[in-house]
Chains A and B, each alone.
Chain A
């Protein structure tokens, strides 16, 4: 039975491109070094990233902020191993995700990475706890362990009593919590969130940002959230500004509220 099947975070890899667990503290949690990526859309070449670079060394709650078309989602896709850079290097927890095969990248995402999207996170035909169990089920994990773990995570995120409900019976905020619980099944070192509160009301969004921040500190995980909202970024400890395919600035948010973040962001844009 594999480590994932036993409920453990796998730490083996091989020379063919499977990931290694890098035990060296010097390796950053997230590294993007001079990444370039061009897409062809409607017959036109669109250069989404033009040498984006970003480094995050430890656990924490971080934002990548930019306008629409700035390349922030592309950056997130490269970090998640959903795509490969045309050039440059992308590493997550010491693993060169850009160099992984499709199979290896898939298995990497299963146990070493959590991903939360803006919408369509959950499989509509599964219950909340079944959705949480999904990565483990795909890994062939023990059903009893999965059930216990999913209940534990749902309880921790405050929606334990909704574990048998299908997504259609959950509010937007509750659905996102289920998605977060799923992403934490194997306690990954990194959690990527792509505009996770885009479809939520402000109160639910606030709750979710606080939750992500709490998880980052309590579990020592690196949460990278892509957002265009200053209010979201204000909950993070650091903001990376991306513009025209490059990370142009980064700043700490200590002492800044949403308005402060917005002003600082505008300042980055002018400089």
Chain B
């Protein structure tokens, strides 16, 4: 073993630049995996922290079955009487409005002068007794907890909303927004000077002007005097942002809301030795209708599933990243073996056994992998730490080191080195001394190319068979994840060989002419070594394929899903809206109609991936006639004239089109949903395209946060929801505006007029659509950056290919120079090779991306009921082509520059 390892280390050490490129390719792949897994792990940790804030150390939670409804303190007394319960604490939550008057500086002609600004915001308030704070933890950054009725703790998001900076900001984000900079909320500079002359001083004062400890804010109430509350504490904003929140004593919030004896939630700690699950099953029906008893594990289960599915995604992405790296290693080492054939033959002649040379080759792969991991893992952690620091507001928990991701990166790095060494090791073992001493360059055989092409097409066929064959969505998903995707990847990698030959035939002439090369020189060069060029193109294509796939799917989501949703004019949402709020809206002259909507998540089977991530369904309830007067949906089955009377009569629902596609449920079928362990049946009286409400409810996060992701909806009457599922709260009011009114002005008026109702969110359909499109676009850009990083890594393979190619053909270049070829011609010839490889990679990547999207299209349809068309994203493809060509030229640059500096005599000094 030792001689073989010595051969391995000397080989690596003797070719430092090329070894460095291969190590860099493995290291960057490892860094990418570690960075992504660290980022995901940190976000998940913050998600977990957020959930812990919701339930603290409690084992069980009692909530109303109708989201947002409160119940009496007798429930708390009942629970406390159970011998199995060690502790129980009640929490009351409600939406509140807050306003204050803050001092700042307003610009004058030449100076800044002290002024006052009224600031307003709505928030979600929690009434918690100090004795129960461990069950609903509050992360204080300043001050203390509220201990009396007239005290309040505001979080950083609410402090941000009650600041000069927010009040004077030209644009404000809607919905479930994250306030960037909320964590920078700092103690105001007081007293504010009467006059300030310097702009920077005024800016500093205004940036910190806002509500702070000791200030009194007013809580306006409908039809009653407002309540003054002193701010005694500032809490950290929830991880990953969310709504502004405030914390008071239970009694303090009850007095504010005028709801004596009200609770929203009871958190329970069981006595030692008691199993929470068993207690939950035992007492589930004791508390009566309208109340649900759940273990906190069930509440956080959705987050756990989300974490598991992100881990699966990480594994899949890592496999592809390291496959790509192993392709680069394989191409690099195979080129090396080809170049060193005579050296290897001499080693055989002087006594090296086949086994020693094979082990040496495997040792090289192992060293590449180990060194790649040693460099890549810390690099990835550093990148992740930097990213997390930049987004510290959203991820206050900081970097969470993902041991799973690190192990994956190490195993992947070593694996890619070893896998990449297999083929060159096999070739080394097959090499006979005579063969190595003889002719070095053997032209590629047609047969060899055909074999590689055949295997490549087989990979594509396997992927297509998996995508098109099975009809069970679960089977398709798992087969695709384990076999289809790797087969697609490897298939296109192998097709790199015929691809470079085809591209050379079709575009080689044009490329050569453009670069001033003699005819057929470029083609002869590529055809002499199609495997080297082809496999490098294969390694380069992965990132482009990813980008094409991302933008094709993203475009389809925006066009065929979001684009078909007809959002109503406007919405307002809160924890618990009232009919008075609706009446006030109806009284506004620019409001044509309103419709109250109740939203309740229900359990059904069939959407999502079993065991990994399943999606709940929302039951959206409204007054059928007024709702359909306001919205314009497409009836896939049934009609409005027939469905509305049936809905009003009760026992019927309308389902979204995705139910028909994914589960075959349509007109006349029975729809079964579950809630709190009870099953409810409805007859389906229509199938419609989405009216956008379920998306709005998700956008405004109406309902339990993060417990379940509701994607699809059924629509029914509020009467049914109240009688069957016990929910009659108003969560959303849909608004129809007059056609001639400006929606931005209308929304501003609505927010102002309904301030005392403590509306949590209000937005126009246009604003919501713009926000969602912006969010999707940002996500696509973020994912594209990963694809570009992948292309960057692969460009190292190009650099290695070019450097190795130059080394092998040094003598040939020397001959060319000596018979009259200029330095520039030689350089352009080498650059032309890089361009051909990039073009082939572009073609392969585009095709792979589109074929990959076929799978996505089918899986979305089977698992989610979403149908969309595949339209190639030409802009992204063009951009991808540009990037791979640019990266290839940049990668080839240094080697070409070094070559052009070498004198012909030096090139000829190396024997042929």
* A interface residues (Cβ-Cβ under 8 A, vs B): 77, 80, 82-83, 102-103, 106-107, 109-111, 115, 117, 119-126, 130, 134-135, 137-140, 182-183, 199
Q: How far is the CB of A69 from chain B (nearest CB, A)?
A: 14
Q: How far is the CB of A95 from chain B (nearest CB, A)?
A: 15
CB closest residue in chain A, given B14: A125
5 CB-based A-B contacts, threshold 8 Å: A106-B354, A120-B342, A121-B346, A123-B346, A134-B351
CB closest residue in chain B, given A127: B10
Would B10 and A123 count as touching, CB distance under 8 A?
yes
Q: Across the interface, which residues of B come within 8 angstroms of A106, CB to CB?
A: 348, 351-354
Given contacts A102-B354, A125-B15, contact A115 B349 (CB under 8 A): yes
In the bound assembly, the distance between CA atoms of A107 and B10 in angstroms comes to 22
CB closest residue in chain B, given A83: B434
Chain B interface residue count, CB cutoff 8 Å, equals 25
In the bound assembly, the distance between CA atoms of A109 and B346 in angstroms comes to 11
10 other A-B residue contacts (CB within 8 Å) besides A77-B434, A139-B351, A140-B2: A106-B352, A106-B353, A107-B353, A120-B343, A125-B10, A125-B11, A126-B10, A130-B10, A135-B351, A182-B350
Q: How far is the CB of B238 from chain A (nearest CB, A)?
A: 59
Would B350 and A138 count as touching, CB distance under 8 A?
yes
In the bound assembly, the distance between CA atoms of A102 and B2 in angstroms comes to 21
List of 6 A-B pairs having minimum Cβ-Cβ separation, nearest first = A125-B14, A110-B351, A120-B342, A135-B351, A125-B10, A82-B433
Would B353 and A109 count as touching, CB distance under 8 A?
no
Q: Across the interface, which residues of A come within 8 angstroms of B343, CB to CB?
A: 120, 123-124
Contact pick for B347, options A82, A103, A134, A199, CB 8 Å = A134
Would B3 and A109 count as touching, CB distance under 8 A?
no
CB of B911 within 8 Å of the partner chain? yes
Contact pick for A120, options B14, B348, B911, CB 8 Å = B911
CB of B437 within 8 Å of the partner chain? yes
CB of B296 within 8 Å of the partner chain? no
Q: How far is the CB of B435 from chain A (nearest CB, A)?
A: 10
In the bound assembly, the distance between CA atoms of A241 and B317 in angstroms comes to 67
Would B437 and A117 count as touching, CB distance under 8 A?
yes
Would A120 and B351 count as touching, CB distance under 8 A?
no
Q: How far is the CB of A161 from chain B (nearest CB, A)?
A: 22
Q: Across the interface, which residues of B come within 8 angstroms of A135, CB to CB?
A: 350-351
* B interface residues (Cβ-Cβ under 8 A, vs A): 2-3, 6, 10-11, 13-15, 342-343, 346-354, 356, 432-434, 437, 911
CB closest residue in chain B, given A124: B14
In the bound assembly, the distance between CA atoms of A90 and B350 in angstroms comes to 19
Given contacts A123-B343, A125-B13, contact A199 B911 (CB under 8 A): yes
Q: How far is the CB of B95 from chain A (nearest CB, A)?
A: 73
Q: How far is the CB of B673 from chain A (nearest CB, A)?
A: 71
Given contacts A82-B434, A138-B356, A199-B911, contact A123 B13 (CB under 8 A): no
Q: Across the interface, which residues of A come within 8 angstroms of B349, CB to CB?
A: 80, 82, 109, 115, 117
Would B433 and A140 count as touching, CB distance under 8 A?
no
Q: How far is the CB of A166 from chain B (nearest CB, A)?
A: 8
In the bound assembly, the distance between CA atoms of A130 and B10 in angstroms comes to 10
In the bound assembly, the distance between CA atoms of A107 and B14 in angstroms comes to 26
In the bound assembly, the distance between CA atoms of A7 and B15 in angstroms comes to 31
Q: Across the interface, which residues of A come within 8 angstroms of B6, CB to CB?
A: 137
Q: How far is the CB of A255 from chain B (nearest CB, A)?
A: 36
Would A109 and B354 count as touching, CB distance under 8 A?
no
Q: How far is the CB of B819 from chain A (nearest CB, A)?
A: 22
In the bound assembly, the distance between CA atoms of A120 and B910 in angstroms comes to 10
In the bound assembly, the distance between CA atoms of A12 and B795 in angstroms comes to 53
Would A140 and B3 count as touching, CB distance under 8 A?
yes
Would B350 and A110 count as touching, CB distance under 8 A?
yes
CB closest residue in chain A, given B13: A125
Would B350 and A134 count as touching, CB distance under 8 A?
yes
In the bound assembly, the distance between CA atoms of A102 and B356 in angstroms comes to 13
B3, B15, B347: residue with the most chain A Cβ atoms closer than 10 Å? B3
Would A111 and B351 count as touching, CB distance under 8 A?
yes
B15, B350, B356, B432: residue with the most chain A Cβ atoms closer than 10 Å? B350
Q: Across the interface, which residues of A come within 8 angstroms of B352, CB to CB?
A: 106, 138
In the bound assembly, the distance between CA atoms of A155 and B57 in angstroms comes to 80
CB closest residue in chain A, given B4: A138
CB closest residue in chain A, given B349: A115
In the bound assembly, the distance between CA atoms of A199 and B3 in angstroms comes to 30
Would A119 and B353 count as touching, CB distance under 8 A?
no
CB closest residue in chain B, given A192: B349
Q: Across the interface, which residues of A come within 8 angstroms of B351, CB to CB?
A: 106-107, 109-111, 134-135, 138-139
In the bound assembly, the distance between CA atoms of A144 and B14 in angstroms comes to 23
Q: Across the interface, which residues of B come within 8 angstroms of A124, CB to CB?
A: 14, 343
Contact pick for A109, options B15, B350, B356, B437, CB 8 Å = B350
In the bound assembly, the distance between CA atoms of A252 and B191 in angstroms comes to 116
In the bound assembly, the distance between CA atoms of A103 and B346 in angstroms comes to 15
A102, A119, A134, A139: residue with the most chain B Cβ atoms closer than 10 Å? A134
Q: Across the interface, which residues of B come within 8 angstroms of A111, CB to CB?
A: 351
Q: How far is the CB of A155 from chain B (nearest CB, A)?
A: 21
CB closest residue in chain A, given B440: A120
Q: How far is the CB of B472 from chain A (nearest CB, A)?
A: 53
In the bound assembly, the distance between CA atoms of A124 and B11 in angstroms comes to 9
Q: Across the interface, which residues of A come within 8 angstroms of B14, CB to CB?
A: 124-126
CB closest residue in chain A, given B353: A106
Contact pick for B346, options A77, A83, A117, A137, CB 8 Å = A117
Q: How far is the CB of B908 from chain A (nearest CB, A)?
A: 12
Q: How far is the CB of A125 from chain B (nearest CB, A)?
A: 2
In the bound assembly, the distance between CA atoms of A82 and B753 in angstroms comes to 97
Q: Across the interface, which residues of B come within 8 angstroms of A109, CB to CB?
A: 349-351
In the bound assembly, the distance between CA atoms of A52 and B838 in angstroms comes to 54
Q: Across the interface, which residues of A come within 8 angstroms of B2, CB to CB?
A: 140
CB closest residue in chain A, given B344: A123
In the bound assembly, the distance between CA atoms of A122 and B349 in angstroms comes to 12
Q: How far is the CB of A197 from chain B (nearest CB, A)?
A: 14
Q: How far is the CB of A38 from chain B (nearest CB, A)?
A: 14
In the bound assembly, the distance between CA atoms of A120 and B346 in angstroms comes to 8
In the bound assembly, the distance between CA atoms of A142 and B877 in angstroms comes to 60
Contact pick for A123, options B347, B353, B354, CB 8 Å = B347
Q: How far is the CB of A213 from chain B (nearest CB, A)?
A: 23
Q: Across the interface, which residues of B come within 8 angstroms of A199, CB to CB?
A: 911
Q: Across the interface, which residues of A come within 8 angstroms of B342, CB to CB?
A: 120
In the bound assembly, the distance between CA atoms of A27 and B10 in angstroms comes to 41
Q: How far is the CB of A68 from chain B (nearest CB, A)?
A: 15
Q: Across the interface, which residues of B come within 8 angstroms of A183, CB to CB?
A: 350
In the bound assembly, the distance between CA atoms of A120 and B437 in angstroms comes to 9
CB closest residue in chain A, given B357: A138
Q: How far is the CB of A164 from chain B (nearest CB, A)?
A: 14
Q: Across the interface, which residues of A come within 8 angstroms of B13, CB to CB?
A: 125
CB closest residue in chain A, given B355: A103
A82, A111, A182: residue with the most chain B Cβ atoms closer than 10 Å? A82
Q: How far is the CB of A177 from chain B (nearest CB, A)?
A: 16
Q: Across the interface, which residues of B come within 8 angstroms of A122, CB to CB?
A: 346
Q: Across the interface, which residues of B come within 8 angstroms of A110, CB to CB?
A: 350-351
Q: Across the interface, which residues of A come within 8 angstroms of B350, CB to CB?
A: 109-110, 115, 134-135, 138, 182-183
Q: How far is the CB of B704 from chain A (nearest CB, A)?
A: 65
In the bound assembly, the distance between CA atoms of A77 and B435 in angstroms comes to 12
CB closest residue in chain B, given A194: B437
Q: How far is the CB of A83 from chain B (nearest CB, A)?
A: 6
CB closest residue in chain A, given B437: A117
In the bound assembly, the distance between CA atoms of A120 and B348 in angstroms comes to 13
In the bound assembly, the distance between CA atoms of A182 and B347 in angstroms comes to 12
Q: Across the interface, which residues of A come within 8 angstroms of B434, CB to CB?
A: 77, 82-83
A122, A125, A126: residue with the most chain B Cβ atoms closer than 10 Å? A125
In the bound assembly, the distance between CA atoms of A123 and B344 in angstroms comes to 9
CB closest residue in chain A, given B6: A137
Would B353 and A137 count as touching, CB distance under 8 A?
no
CB closest residue in chain A, given B11: A125
B11, B15, B433: residue with the most chain A Cβ atoms closer than 10 Å? B433
In the bound assembly, the distance between CA atoms of A112 and B351 in angstroms comes to 10
Q: Across the interface, which residues of A come within 8 angstroms of B347, CB to CB?
A: 123, 134, 138
CB closest residue in chain B, given A114: B350
Q: Across the interface, which residues of B come within 8 angstroms of A82, CB to CB?
A: 349, 432-434, 437
